[in-house]
Amino acid sequence: MGRGRAPCCDKSKVKKGPWSPAEDLRLITFIQKHGHGNWRSLPKQAGLLRCGKSCRLRWINYLRPDVKRGHFTLEEEETIIKLHQSLGNRWSKIASSLPGRTDNEIKNVWNTHLKKRALVHKDANYDKVELTKEFSRTSSSFSTSSFINMEVLEKKENTLTMENGDEPKEAPSSSSMSSHSSSNCSNSNQVDQVIEIPLESDIDFWEMLDNLDPFKSNESQPHDQFEVSKSSNLGEEDDHGEIEYRKWLKYLENELGLEATSEGDKNPTKDADGQLGFEMTLRPENDYGKCYFQMWPSSPQSFGI
């Protein structure tokens, strides 16, 4: 065999295109449990029909807990412009100066906004007024319906993804997504992570969940195995939502090594914004601390709230 480079994987056997929430969850779960020592073998071990590179990219650019999302601040944009002047298209180098930002994101922002601005800067000595106007542009469009975000609020010493001896980053900036959780976070400093989970009608997603072992084994049993607590603080018309919700609990307990500290913790609560959530403590072996899980429906109505 010559020096010709073998493809990183069998392209005919891997899925391409956008990641589904189910795939995201699988990847997050796997990396939380086992880390990502070998990207090439990870997809197989995690049960993902993706190539290792795709998993790595998805994790680094999107799922990593310390990745900062939302629009760039004026300072960040100025930093990028300055660094680009000295470094050129060395996006990873530029990204290393902007904690929480990925090279891919910086590259995109450069190509879509900053390149033009830099040209204007060159030609017209950088009109600060225009710059400020552009800064107020609407934030990047989050795909809220297909997003799983782990927001590390107060990271304990942990085993999660801190490569190269990275220091735990500050809490991610308040994006439109993160704002869902802010009220909860501020109420409990002991919560270490907020994991936001879409509760949507993504067929693939729920089919995957339904096929997971904990649920498979329940197929012959009625749904009320997750016995809906009528005394919960949700309305009675929430039965369906709460059943799904309890499925989630069961799944998370099994997959992420979570456990409720008391039965009361398993009862979902609503915050001031009407967001459903529940608090659970991770088992000691994971050492991730206490988490607050939030679920948001595609629209509040779908939960009858």
Structural contact between residues 151 and 193, judged by C-beta atoms closer than 8 angstroms: yes
Short-list 19, 48, 46, 21, CA closest to 33? 46
- Phi, psi dihedral angles at 295 (to 5 degrees): -130, 135
List the one residue from 21, 25, 28, 58 that touches DNA (CB under 7 A): 58
16 near DNA, rule: CB under 7 A: yes
Q: Which is nearer to DNA, 9 or 305 (CB)?
A: 9
Q: Which is nearer to DNA, 19 or 245 (CB)?
A: 19
Shortest distance (Å) from residue 274 CB to DNA: 22
222 near DNA, rule: CB under 7 A: no
Structural contact between residues 258 and 252, judged by C-beta atoms closer than 8 angstroms: yes
Residue 101 identity: R
44 near DNA, rule: CB under 7 A: no
The residue range among 56-64, 123-131, 192-200, 261-269 that interacts with DNA, by the rule CB under 7 A, is 56-64
52 near DNA, rule: CB under 7 A: yes
What track of x and - describes contact with DNA for positions 136 through 155 (by CB under 7 A)? Answer: -xxxxx-x------------
Shortest distance (Å) from residue 83 CB to DNA: 11
57 near DNA, rule: CB under 7 A: yes
Please tell me the count of residues contacting DNA according to CB under 7 A.
Answer: 50
E strands of 4-158, at which residues?
149-152
Alpha helix (H) ranges present in 64-220? 74-87, 91-96, 103-109, 115-124, 128-135, 179-187, 203-211, 213-216
Q: Which is nearer to DNA, 54 or 158 (CB)?
A: 54
Structural contact between residues 217 and 207, judged by C-beta atoms closer than 8 angstroms: no
**Rounded (to 5) percent helix, strand, coil in the chain:** 50, 10, 40
Structural contact between residues 142 and 177, judged by C-beta atoms closer than 8 angstroms: yes
Q: Which is nearer to DNA, 18 or 284 (CB)?
A: 18
Phi-psi sector, 18: left (phi>0), alpha (psi -120 to 50), beta: beta
List the one residue from 92, 132, 190, 211 that touches DNA (CB under 7 A): 92
Short-list 45, 44, 49, CA closest to 23? 49
List the one residue from 38, 136, 189, 231 that touches DNA (CB under 7 A): 38
List the one residue from 25, 31, 32, 54 that touches DNA (CB under 7 A): 54
**List of residues contacting DNA (CB under 7 A):** 1-3, 5-8, 11, 15-19, 37-41, 50-54, 56-58, 61-62, 71, 89-93, 103-105, 107-109, 111-113, 137-141, 143, 163
